[in-house]
Chain A
């Protein structure tokens, strides 16, 4: 069965510092991995995805993620955090048995401190 784990419920980072939000995955075969962001009282917004190819994936709002097959990780990163990046971040993996279905992690709340 496919799954993702987000080991940190909460991440705090100072504005201007680099940020990392961690995600590890468990799949049989090649993973399709996604990051989404959720702002208060809103639905999830797509940030980026890894399907195949370059291990460093660039996405929206200056975010990027690094796919590491040996460590089964797909950590979200940004070189310089903004206060407006404060939100709930979800990692997801595609269900390999279903039509484009996703399994989501439990989410990591990122707080950027001014």
Chain B
């Protein structure tokens, strides 16, 4: 049972380059999320999705785009990478549950450095 799988695990980009981070879950969860983790700031929500074909902005969406074409996959894109986007990115998923009482399940992260 893989749970939430993120690829790649590490990546170094140059300023202005683009890339896509991939997230896949095999738990049939309706909800999926992308967070970034920065030292001393905890996790901050970038974008989320409540179902296939839907996406919504989180706390820090600028500079990122997402897509959820299939229920099991949630893609995070950086169109023009900036040094401020150097971070560890986490994908998570959860059941819809009763009024949001379901815990989120996390992948192991993608460590992204922008030079």
Contact = CB atoms under 8 A, between A and B. Distances in A.
Contact of A100 (B42, B43, B90, B102): B102
Interface stretch (A14-22, A63-71, A76-84, A101-109): A101-109
* Interface of chain A: mostly helix, strand, loop or mixed: loop
A42 B108 contact: yes
A32 B101 CA distance: 7
Nearest to B40: A106
A56 interface: no
A90 B104 CA distance: 13
A49 B33 CA distance: 19
Contact of B94 (A42, A43, A45, A100): A100
A34 B102 CA distance: 10
B35 to A, nearest CB: 8
A102 B104 contact: yes
A44 interface: yes
Interface in B44-68: 44-45, 48, 50, 56, 58
Interface of B: 4, 31, 33, 40-45, 48, 50, 56, 58, 90, 92, 94, 96-97, 99-109
